[in-house]
Structure 1
């Protein structure tokens, strides 16, 4: 079966296009080709190619399988026709359930992953945005709910630069306008799954890579904060000298929580070693760029702990640029937020390993929930589900090791008894019990395993 596909122009070919999309008849398909060249000026190459890979099978299906009022749907049809085609594609090809809602379509995922469906929807929405911008499509964007502003007053669906985390993540208050999106198709049962980081040596890999990259004392301190406190990078970069002074414990700092409107409603706790490095940074490296030459004990409360080389607030973008160098040196791709997931996973492991009773486990889990300031206490249960799977893997590995050990012991024992067992009248002590009631018990046992 043919399909749509794309190819880069061969070297030496004179063309206004560096990539051309072809249809199933190997003819250039200009709409997707123009889409690629418009998007490549806005987002990265890998992202555009991912969108193309999602769109090409859809356009093949659109050409041969779509139906609207007894005819095939064209890509530049009226918005209603395209919406019907996208809906049918979601149902027939992506195996989703789609239910009409007030002004939009709700998508319920079945066999396809949320990433696959969301990628497809984002690709189609972006395609029609490009076509409208390039004046190649004369209608409203079929993937946009045109009545959205009437219902929600034009409030944005997501924050600028940062995606809205789902409620199960326990990170934010349920502010109504942040839950809204102008998309005509909305995924309803998109389950959030946290990153479960099981590499217990992960921080040390980052620290070693940082040292090899000749990182600054500032970035070393921030990286240690990430793994030791479980705080978000935004919360760490927002810390002030006064936040340290607000806590009675010398290893704690008051901190804001996402959605707390800059109020310090929680605290973070660091190790003695990180505290020493923090004070050393403030008294040495930080003074090289700060307008004031005061040391840690003399700085005013509102002074930010971390500064850029220009003496301004150290931003997430600036830190991430440096962080990317460390992780590349370590040979891993790691978003700073995953340090938070590593912290929770490590704390959960510690809770189970240091508790003697179920009551102690529950008490420590409540303390962790309070420390993390999760909006939804059920967030921890999501981590526990995946942690239980890891515990089973560990148990299974230990059992396999024991099996191998016992197998070797059995073979050694069998070799020693080989000569004796071959003598007339001698029976092996490895023989199974042959009493009738034992066989009945074994039969019942195996039947129970099938239920």
Structure 2
């Protein structure tokens, strides 16, 4: 929020007057509208009781976070009796109450979803925000560079990365787990799985509960064991081997012996990516994993039934709340298959074109008419010879 309040102090105007955070809602709303337009590069369209915010290609990725933070700020100021108006981030058209939707029993209210006797409502809960993001549809990024992990590994070696960061990076590409899920792995997460290549892991929104597992390759497992028994021991406050550590001990530690944080890892990650000469945030490794897995499913399956079965396994492994998430990746794969088909077709077109013109030239040589010989009678020598031969022929 600091950039916004700094901008508000020096740049904002409402009715040709500067605006501060404790002014009336209309002034604050106009200031936020100006900020969305000029600083976050959104498009804002007024509607009945609220403003529609359209995210553009130039918009900041923190638009939703910014609006949520400002809304929470004013809620707090109102609760502390420091802002004496209605929350400027809450619109006039509030959300539709659940009671407005009838239940299956005539003239009776809907039962709680916990009862399980009525079909759950399929609509999303409406927001009461004054600024509503209209086109905020999440679309995963598709990473189709199949050699991407190896480029990152090579850059890591060239930059002198630590064994810890190498293990974490390999976890990212091999498991499809979020970086936060990897950094929070514990010794117990490895022990709690019967397969030596698997670890239990948290999932987004699981409240630290281990509700899924991740799999690593044999080579990455060897690196993990070497890290825990050697490099990690040098950083840890208690120099214990893997068999001596408690289940609660985090696997990855900083050089000070504290749990390895995302900010510390990202600093090292930036160095590696700069060495590779690419722009890549850690989360894109997850998208690369899904794209690669989907490609492997299609290439290794012989029937449509096998494809569907493997896709269900992938959805279960990723712990997606909405199975439809996979459809977007499939759309990419369908496009990729069309590109390959189109490239092959273009190659055939090109080859056929060369053969056609080659055969055309051959036909032209066979059917080319004999050009008549033209005698120039303007030459006196030729003219006399012709007359002489003519008279000899007459005799």
TM-score by length of 2: 0.69
2:296 is aligned with 1:337? no
Provide the C-alpha distance between the structure 1 equivalents of 2:67 and 2:317, rounded to a whole number of angstroms: 42
2:62 is aligned with 1:113? no
2:368 is aligned with 1:368? no
Give the aligned partner of residue 365 of structure 2. 419
Give the aligned partner of residue 143 of structure 2. 197
Q: 1:394–1:416: structure 2 CA closer, same or farther, 3 Å change rule?
A: same
Q: 1:228–1:423: structure 2 CA closer, same or farther, 3 Å change rule?
A: farther
2:266 is aligned with 1:320? yes
2:157 is aligned with 1:211? yes
Of 226, 234, 242, 2:172 maps to: 226
2:236 is aligned with 1:290? yes
Of 302, 307, 311, 1:356 maps to: 302
Q: 1:122–1:340: structure 2 CA closer, same or farther, 3 Å change rule?
A: closer
Residue by residue over 1:361-395, the C-alpha shift from the partner in whole angstroms, topping out at 9 and shown as x without a partner, is 11111010000000111111122223322332232
SS of the counterpart of 2:132?
Answer: strand
Residue by residue over 1:72-130, the C-alpha shift from the partner in whole angstroms, topping out at 9 and shown as x without a partner, is 77665964367579889999x98766443xxx515275xx7376498889999999x9x
Provide the C-alpha distance between the structure 2 equivalents of 1:375 and 1:265, rounded to a whole number of angstroms: 13
Q: Name the larger-Rg structure.
A: 2
Retained in 2: the 8 A contact 1:252–1:267? yes
Retained in 1: the 8 A contact 2:42–2:56? no
Q: CA RMSD in A?
A: 4.3
Q: 1:381–1:73: structure 2 CA closer, same or farther, 3 Å change rule?
A: farther
2:74 is aligned with 1:145? no
Residue by residue over 1:219-260, the C-alpha shift from the partner in whole angstroms, topping out at 9 and shown as x without a partner, is 000000000000001111111122112222211111111111
Retained in 2: the 8 A contact 1:257–1:266? yes
Of 268, 276, 283, 2:214 maps to: 268
Of 173, 178, 185, 2:131 maps to: 185
Retained in 1: the 8 A contact 2:168–2:182? yes
SS of the counterpart of 2:153?
Answer: helix
Q: Which ranges in structure 1 are unaligned for 5 or more consecutive residues?
A: 1-31, 40-51, 63-71, 130-137, 152-178, 425-451
Q: 1:251–1:190: structure 2 CA closer, same or farther, 3 Å change rule?
A: same
Provide the C-alpha distance between the structure 1 equivalents of 2:68 and 2:226, rounded to a whole number of angstroms: 51
Retained in 2: the 8 A contact 1:240–1:305? yes
Residue by residue over 1:20-69, the C-alpha shift from the partner in whole angstroms, topping out at 9 and shown as x without a partner, is xxxxxxxxxxxx9x945979xxxxxxxxxxxx9xx9xxx8xx9xxxxxxx
Retained in 2: the 8 A contact 1:251–1:272? yes
Residue by residue over 1:185-218, the C-alpha shift from the partner in whole angstroms, topping out at 9 and shown as x without a partner, is 1113421111111111111111111101100000
Aligned pair count reads 324
Provide the C-alpha distance between the structure 2 equivalents of 1:188 and 1:146, rounded to a whole number of angstroms: 15
Provide the C-alpha distance between the structure 2 equivalents of 1:328 and 1:389, rounded to a whole number of angstroms: 30
TM-score by length of 1: 0.61
Give the aligned partner of residue 189 of structure 2. 243
Retained in 1: the 8 A contact 2:159–2:272? yes
2:350 is aligned with 1:407? no
Provide the C-alpha distance between the structure 2 equivalents of 1:227 and 1:254, rounded to a whole number of angstroms: 17
Give the aligned partner of residue 302 of structure 1. 248
Retained in 2: the 8 A contact 1:252–1:270? yes
Matches within 5 A, 1:45-124: 76=19, 79-80=25-26, 83=29, 98-100=46-48, 105=50, 107=52, 109=54, 113=56, 116=59
Q: 1:339–1:144: structure 2 CA closer, same or farther, 3 Å change rule?
A: same
Q: Which ranges in structure 2 are unaligned for 5 or more consecutive residues?
A: 74-82, 97-124, 371-395
Of 328, 331, 335, 1:385 maps to: 331
